[in-house]
Amino acid sequence: MTDRRQFLRIAALGGLAGATTMLAPRALADSNVQHEMRAPESLPGNPAGDAAAGYRPPQKYGAGGTQIGNMFFETSDDTAEAMLQAQWDAGVRYFDTSPWYGLGLSERRLGHFLDGQKRSDYMLSSKVGRLLTPDASMDSHGIWAGDLNFNYRYDYTAAGVRRSVEDSLQRLGVPSLDMVFIHDLAPSNKDLDDYGAQLKTAIEGAMPELTKMREEGLIKGWGMGVNDIEPSLAALDNAEPNVILQATRYTLMNHEDALERLFPKCEAQGCSVVIGAPLGAGFLAGKDRWLYGDDTPQGYPEKRARISEIARQHGTDLRTAALQFTAAPKIVSATIPGARDAKQARENAASMRATIDPAFWQALKDEGLIAEAAPTALDTSA
């Protein structure tokens, strides 16, 4: 009988074309079972029964999947497995990934780790918008390192997103996804031809199809997974997303636009927000890198240094402040930093359990380092 590693390899190469028809009914049955999981006591949980909260993971902290996709440099299978185990041991039960992360590698590694875990014990999200095709000549590409062996094409049509979900189920080796995000459909994505035309395709194709898949029970919620605010607003104007994965636009360094434009609209339409890249791809954990190769904005190093100094004065640290800041707004259902190894995973989880002196936040506001209107009170006792 084909073992799991062989299954994942064959599935990733597209050799299980017929498996999608078998997976879909199982996914429908599985997704109709209510999740029994509860937020572990050690991590902040989400309040139940909030009608304006939108679709929410069980806790305000989850695990992003970029770094197990070999972001920036190669990570071994053993290191990735140990990192995921450390997340699980720390109580993390929400995992996010994407076909784009390592061109399938992140999904394959996450699926391997989740094999054997009870499906109702964790929440899982992935993304649509790119379809992968085998390509032995594909070596490191952009921020993804290693022998990738897959290429990609953009596809925001109805058929494309359904195919993408089915492909993700195969790579992950699971019968269902909880949340699906329309990925990287944003003006800042210079790899994308004609943003306006692609947005129109998604409004007419991807969004209605994901809504249909939600109604079928194949998924429980969908939204945008983007770095810019404009596409999230467009989705809210043209469809009924449950949750927005807004990356790079709500951090200690930059958050006013999301506070003023995105959060109120989400709240009005009953849509929650997941925060991606809360550490600025490592900048707010001390790395000399802002996001994904972007030049560090003027004044950011000085601002970071001042926040770090104030944090030390109040018995905390920059990483802890950055993570809890992104999780504090009521509209935010989770913040999902990535982690390279087990040590980083444990450090991130410890930051979410820590208690921060309210005087620290007031000091930041007094110096104009964060917006006066920014929520800061995170309940770490849930």
The tokens for 80 are 């990735």
223 inside domain: yes
Burial label for 3, CB within 10 Å (0-12, 13-18, 19+), is exposed
Of 339, 297, 295, which Cα lies nearest the Cα of 319? Answer: 339
pLDDT-derived band at 41 (thresholds 50, 70, 90) equals low
Residue 113's domain comprises 4-32+57-353
255 inside domain: yes
Q: Mean pLDDT lowest for which of 38-52, 213-227, 362-376?
A: 38-52
Amino acid at 275: I
State yes or no: pLDDT of 51 exceeds 80: no
* Cβ(336)–Cβ(343) below 8 Å: no
Average pLDDT over residues 183-203: 97
37 inside domain: no
302 inside domain: yes
Query: What pLDDT is attached to residue 208?
Result: 98
State yes or no: pLDDT of 34 exceeds 70: no
Query: What pLDDT is attached to residue 37?
Result: 52
Of the two residues 379 and 246, the one the predictor is more confident about is 246
371 inside domain: no
Query: What pLDDT is attached to residue 49?
Result: 47
Query: What pLDDT is attached to residue 45?
Result: 84
Report the mean per-residue pLDDT for the chain: 88
172 inside domain: yes
Query: What pLDDT is attached to residue 281?
Result: 86
pLDDT-derived band at 9 (thresholds 50, 70, 90) equals very low
pLDDT-derived band at 35 (thresholds 50, 70, 90) equals very low
CATH classification of the domain holding 247: 3.20.20.100
Query: What pLDDT is attached to residue 287?
Result: 86
Which phi and psi angles does 241 have, rounded to 5°?
A: -70, 155
10 inside domain: yes
Q: Domain count of the chain? A: 1
* Cβ(307)–Cβ(318) below 8 Å: yes
Q: Fill in the DSSP letter of residue 45.
A: B
Of 216, 312, 309, 232, which Cα lies nearest the Cα of 273? Answer: 232
Query: What pLDDT is attached to residue 26?
Result: 30
Give the helix ranges, DSSP H, for the chain. Answer: 4-12, 19-31, 77-89, 105-114, 158-172, 195-201, 207-216, 229-238, 256-257, 263-268, 300-313, 318-327, 342-353, 358-366
Query: What pLDDT is attached to residue 24?
Result: 34
116 inside domain: yes
Query: What pLDDT is attached to residue 53?
Result: 54
Tens-place pLDDT, residues 277-304: 999 988 999 888 888 876 899 999 999 9
State yes or no: pLDDT of 17 exceeds 60: no
For the chain, the straight-line distance linking the first and the last C-alpha, in angstroms and rounded, comes to: 44
Query: What pLDDT is attached to residue 205?
Result: 98
State yes or no: pLDDT of 22 exceeds 50: no
Average pLDDT over residues 129-144: 96
State yes or no: pLDDT of 179 exceeds 60: yes
State yes or no: pLDDT of 242 exceeds 80: yes
